[in-house]
Structure 1
């Protein structure tokens, strides 16, 4: 097994504003616990901020990778030989594929805060998934990495 010609890795991190929301969640918890005293208030501030920050971090920890002969997107791992054409979706088209054009059998790795995406056909007849919808900040690079990995597998 050889390495792909264009390795790719992207982490779909949560936007910066979510960290502010985490802090505001802690402040809200502190205000709720203020009638019980200073120590519960400080505990609410620390605990509320920490829980909200862990939630934001875990939601933003999903990765998309092209490694050797596989595309790994979140929990899904699919060989690049089972993939067809990759279509780069601009924000308007990506929104359409997230909503009224979406197929319920498709694999969707979407993050609403990322406006662009890549739609990749699944050509494996044994797989009922018609396509992969992958939110990505760099759809051109991801499409190129998939093409390069497919070319390396067929060479």
Structure 2
């Protein structure tokens, strides 16, 4: 199986919105020194952009497991898998969410995948994970799950 990898990075609109740090920084630092103000504004914006990209979680599905950020599920732990988008995804993230569920959401990624767990001792009944391609994630997780003997 070819590995699946998806980084949940923010859309361009988030980077445009964070550019508002530039005039705010200039407002504070220009009275002190113009060069310092411009340099600090550029550095602040660059730091925010880098932080947004570097801290974006990564989803991976390979031959061994499914990883969402630093958490990992092995094939024998994966139960029923369903993808949701639109109003169904909003329902899953909101009123339909079990407080015990393990979640990995990003506000800028609306679709989600719900992965039921087969481990009865796990306090989380399921994982709910944001993804831009729920159908592909469901298909790949089903393929991974079928590798478990007895399924």
TM-score past 0.5 threshold: yes
Distance (whole Å) between structure 1 residues aligned to residue 79 and residue 134 of structure 2: 15
Give 1:34's aligned residue. Answer: 30
**Residues matched between the structures, number:** 150
Q: CA deviation at 1:6?
A: 5.3
Distance of 1:37 and 1:72 partners within structure 2: 47
Question: Where does the alignment leave 5 or more consecutive residues of structure 2 unmatched?
Answer: none
- SS of residue paired to 2:98: coil
- Runs of 4+ in structure 1 over 4 Å off: none
> CA 1:14 to 1:70, structure 2 compared with 1: closer, same or farther past 3 Å?
same
Structure 1, unmatched stretches of 5+, are none
Deviations 1:56-113 (A, max 9, x none): 2234x31111122311001111112111111111221111121111112111111111
User: Taking structure 1 as the reference length, what is the TM-score of the superposition?
Assistant: 0.88
Tell whether 2:123 aligns with 1:128: yes
Equivalent residue number for residue 48 of structure 2: 52
Cα RMSD (Å) = 1.7
Matching residue of 1:12: 8
1:1-155 to 2 correspondence within 5 Å?
5=1, 7-59=3-55, 61-154=56-149
